[in-house]
Chains A and B, each alone.
Chain A
Amino acid sequence: MAASKCTQLTAALSRQLLDSVDCVLFDCDGVIWRGDQAIPGAPEVISSLKKNGKRVFFVTNNSTKTQQMYADKLGKLGFDVTADEVFGTAYCSAVYLKNVCQLDGKVYLIGSNAMRQELEDVGIRPVGVGPDPVSGVQKDWANVPLDKEVQAVLVGFDEHFSYMKLNRALQYLCNPDCQFVGTNTDTRLPLEGGKAVPGTGCLLSAVETAAQRQAQVVGKPSNFMFECVASQFGLDPERCLMVGDRLDTDIMLGSNCGLKTLLTLTGVSTVAEAEANQKSECPQQQKMVPDYYIDSIADILPALQA
């Protein structure tokens, strides 16, 4: 493929690019949907890719849904997708704790019911989900009863995040043998309806600061998100295309894993930012330059249907 980078993906180049890959991985928000609306043309792109014999996967840092919940959402939006094709961080964190951390016990979870469900499905028992208001006085808080079977603290998006949860996580993390994992570092969580709220990255900052420890992060741009898909489906990185809207997560992941990368402009990042990274001397910034960019993924439809 082209040695130059950050090239606009024309129709001709689309054909060439698609022929060079067997598998396409899509970020979700800002790429195939925005909030609760499909990007126009996106469902057709997915179907066409599959008709063309390509495998399609979805890779998202959002930890609020299980694989099945994502499949349901995608189905409602008109996408033809099965649960095992969607890799959110709720599922991937469970796999990470099981396979990489070799967890065999409980985890103190700051996160959603979806995360709880994915953990239980791999045989890990989570404790702590749900509201946890403070009670007692300050000197009680350092002495909250700790479950001896907890071997890790996992932090994901949690609308019930509270001082008490932060405190419990800190107490567990005072033990250096207790592992510390975060789903992702995104600072904003996009919601249905186009709004956004503070993301998991904020909660993780709080816990990392209190505990003075760094979490192992599962989500993009960590390689694990790709490895999780690749190990289950036997993917060849050189024959994979990563399509995303964020240079610092999607494109960085693609670069780190040796995938081809396509930036779509229906989301967060801009061409100007990509070009600025390209001109930069910094190796980290160089990884945030896509091979190609396109206004919307719908623009590859003509090449697919030709």
Chain B
Amino acid sequence: MAGGGGGCVTLGGAQIRDLLDSKHNVLFDCDGVIWNGETAVTGAPEVVSLLKQRGKRVFFVTNNCTRPRENYVQKFSRLGFADVAEEEIFSSAYCSAAYLRDVARLQGKVYVIGCGGVMKELRDAGVPVAEEEDAEPGASIYTCPLDPDVKAVLVGYDENFTFMKLAKACCYLRSSECLFLATDPDPWHPLRGGRVTPGSGSLTAALETASSRKATVIGKPSCFMFDCIASQFGLDPARSLMIGDRLETDVLFGSNCGLTTVLTLTGVSTLQEALAFRDSQEPQQKHCAPDYVMESVADFLQALEE
């Protein structure tokens, strides 16, 4: 069952089984797909287990860069997902570190605007991070001591974002040889109860405006995260399924990478929005329309339990 061409087809019964039979790899977004905050989506842990039992390879692809992978392993366990291994988890923080080490082959340090999760992944990957001198006396936004070893700037979600960091990053980016990376483009992150908090995308926007440069974005909808998985596990896009809840992120990612896409309605995007993208005249918008739509990943259960 090849990609439905962004047709937003509602999946039921035998179609689900046929879809699964045609795919070897299943990639799940996390927030809004398999869990919401600290609560697993009903049926999600069982779906993941059953997929593995059926011989499918399962991966988790998340733009959320706030946790290192080992924390994700703990969260999976806490929420009732049995045996999710670190190797199966691809976060934008992990992939940014992998990109710097393996693709950019960074010779030098990276100046980071990012949270603990990002820092940990960089350290684990062996990528040297420029040390942040905290509030040295006499420092102000008007002085900018630069580390000459910095050859890249990485911006991601940072709850300690300050004007000083923006100014410093901007100084580094004046050199055209300095790489400019962003973990993910998400303008806001959903929190429980329909609330939101500013995302990496908003901080990246500040830095892009300041430097008049565009960041290379690692996270969805860019293909880097898929390339990262593929380089480790040899995935065939035609045999891979992407399941997500955010049309402009997950579905566009799937589309960009040549995967079949499924939108679940347990998260951010709605069926109406999906249909609007499907019916749009603009090619870029059409790529945000999923091949299939499901209420929830639990809809896979019936097909898997047979």
Contacts and interface: CB of A to CB of B under 8 A. Distances in A.
Contact of B198 (A191, A199, A202, A206): A206
A198 B212 CA distance: 11
A205 interface: yes
B230 interface: no
B206 A202 contact: yes
Contacts of A198: 163, 166-167, 170, 206, 209-210
B198 A142 contact: no
B36 to A, nearest CB: 12
A138 B199 CA distance: 12
B131 to A, nearest CB: 20
A226 B209 CA distance: 26
A134 B198 CA distance: 13
A139 B192 contact: yes
B160 A209 contact: no
B159 A163 contact: yes
Contacts of B195: 142-143
Interface residues of A, number: 38
Interface string B131-157: 000000000111000000000000000
Interface string A142-161: 11000000000000001111
Nearest to B210: A198
A88 interface: no
Interface in A190-229: 191, 193, 195, 197-199, 201-212
Interface stretch (A23-31, A44-52, A94-102, A166-174): A166-174
7 contacts: A166-B198, A187-B212, A195-B142, A198-B206, A198-B209, A209-B201, A210-B199
Interface of B: 37, 66, 140-142, 158-163, 166-167, 170, 187-188, 191-193, 195-199, 201-210, 212
Given A170-B196, A201-B209, A205-B202, 6 more contacts: A141-B159, A161-B163, A164-B159, A207-B202, A209-B187, A209-B205
Interface of A: 133-134, 138-139, 141-143, 158-164, 166-167, 170, 174, 187-188, 191, 193, 195, 197-199, 201-212
